[in-house]
Amino acid sequence: MRVVIVDYGSGNLRSAAKAVERAASEANLDIDLHVTADTERVAAADRLILPGVGAFADCRRGLETEVDMIEGLQEAVEQRGVPFLGICVGMQLMADRGLEHEVAAGFGWIHGDVTRIEPADPTLKIPHMGWNTLDVIADHPVLEGIPTGPDGWHAYFVHSYHLAVADRADLIATSDYSGPVTAIVGRNNVVGTQFHPEKSEKLGIALLANFLKWNP
């Protein structure tokens, strides 16, 4: 299985690669993992992972500086149906638009805008940073075997914005920060996490293993 973590100058690439390798090992999966900006490798991948850290528009520009990268992603995901995992801003880029500081176009795979989170408690700090459990809205294979709800495993978040989905059918899980924030979205062969699986210990490793086994 050819797994590609897309390198466009954003994201915890080393941590993500180590987490994917551990997930594959624990699930007894044989993978050929590449962290690369090579568009041909991206277009030929069997699994794609897009990390992202920072502002939406900056990450979009980072992708645009890599020759044909966005086209390669679109070919793999939209035409070949390759399973895709977006992490943090990599997940936000799946939206129609990002509204962080400026309006920037996303991929349009999950309809909705990336907007600032607004806790009901005004004393809570932004960014939302720390460990939270997941509240499942809809079952999805990437959550198979993972304890969720108030007594479930915890995921690590650090973000000020989230993807406000236009269609609730695309919302898989939320987390609570004095109100629901988007935690996981998905549609067809794409799925995205606002939290960082590579930093989320056993929850993250289990989710990555489920992603590697997922055949949408």
Instruction: Write down the catalytic residue from 59, 140, 162, 198.
Output: 198
In terms of C-beta density within 10 A (0-12 exposed, 13-18 middle, 19 or more buried), how is residue 150 classed? exposed
Residue 20 to residues 14, 26, 29, 35, 46: CA-CA distances in angstroms? Answer: 10, 10, 11, 11, 14
Instruction: Based on the residue annotation, tell me whether 88 is a catalytic residue of this protein.
Output: yes
The vertex-85 CA angle with 43 and 16, nearest 5°, equals 95
Residue 173 to residues 130, 135, 197: CA-CA distances in angstroms? Answer: 17, 5, 14
Instruction: Based on the residue annotation, tell me whether 196 is a catalytic residue of this protein.
Output: yes
Instruction: Write down the catalytic residue from 59, 88, 128, 140.
Output: 88
Count of alpha carbons within 13 Å of 159, Cβ hemisphere only? Answer: 32
Contacts 24+ apart (CB under 8 A), 200-203: 200/153, 200/154, 200/155, 200/156, 201/153, 201/154, 201/156, 202/153, 203/134, 203/146, 203/153, 203/154, 203/155
Q: Tokens 């198979």 identify what position?
A: 144
Residues annotated as catalytic (active site), given as ranges: 88, 196, 198
